[in-house]
Chains A and B, each alone.
Chain A
Amino acid sequence: MLLKSKQSYDLTEAAVTDEAVFYNRRRLLQQMGFLGAGSLLASSASAGLLDFFSSGDKPAGPQFQQAPLTSIRSPYSTAETMTAESKATGHNNFYEFGLGKDDPKANAQGFKVNPWQLTVSGAVNKPLQLDYDALFAPELEERIYRLRCVEAWSMVIPWVGYPLATLLRQAEPTSAARYVAFQTLHDPAQMPGQGNRFLGGGIRYPYIEGLRLDEAMHPLTFLAVGVYGKTLPPQNGAPVRLVVPWKYGFKSIKSIVGIKLVEREPATTWNISAPNEYGFYANVNPQVDHPRWSQASERRITRGGLGSDERIPTQMFNGYGEAVADLYAGMNLRKYF
């Protein structure tokens, strides 16, 4: 009979840090340290003097409720300094909720995400219909990715979700599937920009994005259902969005209702709007400038006020070249920008 005497260094089950707390420890520390400063960030005065033409004051309605998510850590995460949550959730391009960077947060708080329906259809053997809860069914992992906007600013954001390939494999693409098209919810009643070109910038709605099938199946291509350890807030694309870290941010479509596997390259929103400025591929590439500005460097938004951002050189494929450059072997990336 084996007798085990309890040693002073033995840990009991109760002493084990909850996994969620363990993986969130850095964030918990940040929240404790920055809560005081964060609560001072409430007001925003970035309004233009013509803002009385648009939505006006921030609604006094209730805040969107985010639920905590548990996730495992991913080896694909970067160790770079993360962007403050208030910045990543307060500075968004989501024209469905207005053109200003602070409009989405101001106008999207009443957005309904449950019930939700995401369909995976087209050239697949098993079309899928996922309701809100099904979006969270696969094992969730946290991936801290660099996000490079085509406007030459960048952030480092901890997404929670799973590889898009997980979902696509369940649907079993047929041999006819060569591209994947994504579509954002079309609901002008909830998304004022879709019904009013003054608010929505006059781009074509619903927003459509697309990837080649091999890009979509790449392990870095991520379907995010959360951010900063919680479900996504509406301004970041609740309840489910795409994250393609080696492409400019506009490829990472938000609030997706449809994923369709197709034979031909789908027409995508920004490419339709300005084909000479926004290509289908939109791979981050410091050598190919936007016609109106340089893409050789970027302003990294982390935390703090004026003067705290650093301008850093932009990396080819946003630093994910080792993993994705093979996808584009032999392609002229100046032509297929």
Chain B
Amino acid sequence: MPVPKTRVMSDRHVLLLKLLIHGLCLFFLLRVYYLGFSDQLGGDPVKAIIHFTGIGALNLLLLTLAVTPLSRWSHQGRLVRVRRLLGLYCFTYAAAHLVNFLTFDLQFNWPLIAEELTERPYIVVGLCAFIILLLLAITSIPPLVRALGRRWKLLHSWIYIAVLLVCLHFTWSVKADITEPMIYLAITLVLLATRGRQLRRPFSWPG
């Protein structure tokens, strides 16, 4: 009798997984806006939607980072094909988080926005992380991936800096108890530890 082999993910499985990611990410994002605009997000829908999209972006960022080690451990090479999609949804949630803050909280009060973006350390840190995510999102377009060649990999290793900045942004933004941000930081460090080899030779210019 032949030894049963581990089932390998087919292209169809990847497609189904991608559809599931699209469905879940869009459902939760659209749902929170529906609840917000119809006043079903508690006493302060502004705070609620800013928090939801922020924590959602961090969850998606950690999922994105989990894809590579997961595919290695499970010997499912095709799994990495969902990484780009998760990363782009992370960027989408992060963009929504920033837009919510500017639109509903600061309400395009430009002097206030300028002050908050320059003088508040946790907001500066968050903005830096967002700029990195923005660059990564733009350069994930296939022609740009090809054009950048080996430099693409270097640029995209900035995701490690982004996730640490996001953890700092989260920790700095809470009023008293930092348990939840610390749990996120611990998960982040575990995910970074799986990349020991890459991080030991960090950001060396590929020659």
Chain B residues closer than 8 Å to A37, beta-carbon distance: 39
Asked if B42 and A305 sit within 8 Å, CB to CB, the answer is no
* List of B residues within 8 angstroms of A308 by Cβ: 39
Does B39 lie within 8 Å of A299, measured CB to CB?
no
Binds B, one of A47-55, A61-69, A182-190, A221-229: A47-55
Stretch from B70-78, B107-115, B132-140, B150-158 forming part of the interface with A = B107-115
Contact B55 A301 (CB under 8 A): no
A198 contacts B40, CB within 8 Å? no
CB-CB under 8 A from A88, the residues of chain B are: 43
A109 smallest CB distance to B (angstroms): 16
Quick check: A305 and B37 within 8 Å, CB to CB? yes
Does B203 count as interface, using CB distance less than 8 angstroms?
no
- Chain B's closest residue to A86 (CB) is B43
Q: Does A40 contact B (CB under 8 A)?
A: yes
Q: Bound complex: CA of A297 vs CA of B37, how far in Å?
A: 23
Q: Is B11 an interface residue (CB 8 A)?
A: no
Instruction: Report chain A residues within 8 Å CB of B38.
Output: 40, 305
**B116: chain A residues within 8 A (beta carbon):** 293-294
Q: Is A202 an interface residue (CB 8 A)?
A: yes
At the interface with chain B, which of A21-29, A94-102, A113-121, A160-168? A94-102
- With an 8 A cutoff between CB atoms, is A112 at the interface? no
Residues A306 and B172 in contact, CB atoms below 8 Å apart: no
What sequence of 0s and 1s flags, for each residue 76-112 of chain B, a beta carbon within 8 Å of any chain A beta carbon? 0000000000000000000000000001111101001
Flag if A305 contacts B180 (CB, 8 Å): no
Known contacts A198-B177, A273-B176, A294-B116; decide if A306 and B37 are in contact (CB<8 Å).
Answer: yes
Most buried by A among B33, B42, B104, B121: B42
List residues of A (195-216) whose CB comes within 8 Å of B's CBs: 197-198, 200-203
Residues of A within 8 A of B35 (CB): 45
* Contact between chains at A44 and B112 (CB < 8 Å): no
Within 8 A of B (CB), among A30-60: 37, 40-41, 43-46, 48-50, 53
Q: How far is the CB of B104 from chain A (nearest CB, A)?
A: 6
**Does B191 lie at the interface of the complex (its beta carbon under 8 Å from any beta carbon of A)?**
no
Which chain B positions have C-beta within 8 A of A203?
A: 176
Distance between B32 CB and nearest chain A CB, rounded to angstroms: 7
B47 close to A (CB within 8 Å): yes
| Contact A311–B107 (Cβ < 8 Å) | yes
Task: Give A310 to B177 CA distance when docked, in angstroms.
Answer: 29
Q: Once bound together, how far apart are the Cα atoms of A92 and B49, in whole Å?
A: 17
Q: Is the CB of A296 closer than 8 A to any CB of chain B?
A: yes
Complex Cα distance, B56 from A200, in Å, reads 24
Q: Which of B31, B35, B103 gathers most chain A CB within 10 Å?
A: B35
Taking a contact as CB atoms under 8 Å apart, the answer to whether B183 and A50 are in contact is yes
Pick from B31, B39, B55, B106: contact of A305, CB below 8 A.
Answer: B39
Q: Which residue of B44, B51, B115, B116 has the most chain A CB atoms within 10 A of its CB atom?
A: B44
A91 CB–B CB distance under 8 Å: yes
The list of the 8 closest CB pairs from A to B, nearest first, reads A91-B43, A46-B48, A305-B39, A201-B176, A306-B36, A201-B177, A90-B43, A46-B42
